[in-house]
Amino acid sequence: MQAMAKAQENKRRATRLHHELPVAYRTVGSFLSDWATNISQGGMFINTRNPLSVGTVVKIIIQLPNAEFPFEIVGRVTRVTEYDNHANMVPGMGIEFTDIDAAKREKIEVFVEQLRKGLEMA
């Protein structure tokens, strides 16, 4: 029974799809740009060899192909994967969106759904 509960805890709230998307992000004292490699309506994974610490609040600027202009989303680093030359893991940080309005969330949902449909047709 405990194994079942743990499996349910590990399930993501929203399906993430692999897609490389340029992002810029701001935190106190720095402005960086990298690639988001996974995105869902609730967050993203940013591929970087210099991840921020878990708990760091970031402002992400993102340009979705289905949006006319870039927009800003506030998020928080929830996990970090360090660079390891011997492991087959992508370095970076998982970001959970913490402050996103309905219009922005809908744009992300539309984008993720378009990606999903494209993958199903491939």
pLDDT digits (tens, 9 = 90+) for 38-60: 888 899 999 998 899 999 999 99
pTM of the predicted structure, to 2 decimals? 0.76
Q: Give 27's DSSP letter.
A: E
Task: Using the predicted structure, report yes or no on whether residue 90 has a pLDDT greater than 60.
Answer: yes
Q: Which tops the pLDDT comparison, 17 or 39?
A: 39
| H or E segment to which residue 29 belongs | none
Burial of 105 (0-12, 13-18, 19+ CB in 10 A): middle
Residue 122: per-residue pLDDT: 57
- pLDDT band with cut points at 50, 70 and 90 for residue 120: low
Tokens coding 107: 């744009």
CA distance 10 to 35: 24
CA distance 42 to 16: 9
Task: Using the predicted structure, report yes or no on whether residue 105 has a pLDDT greater than 80.
Answer: yes
What is the Rg, in whole angstroms, of the alpha carbon atoms belonging to the chain?
15
Q: Domains of the chain by range and CATH?
A: 12-121 (2.40.10.220)
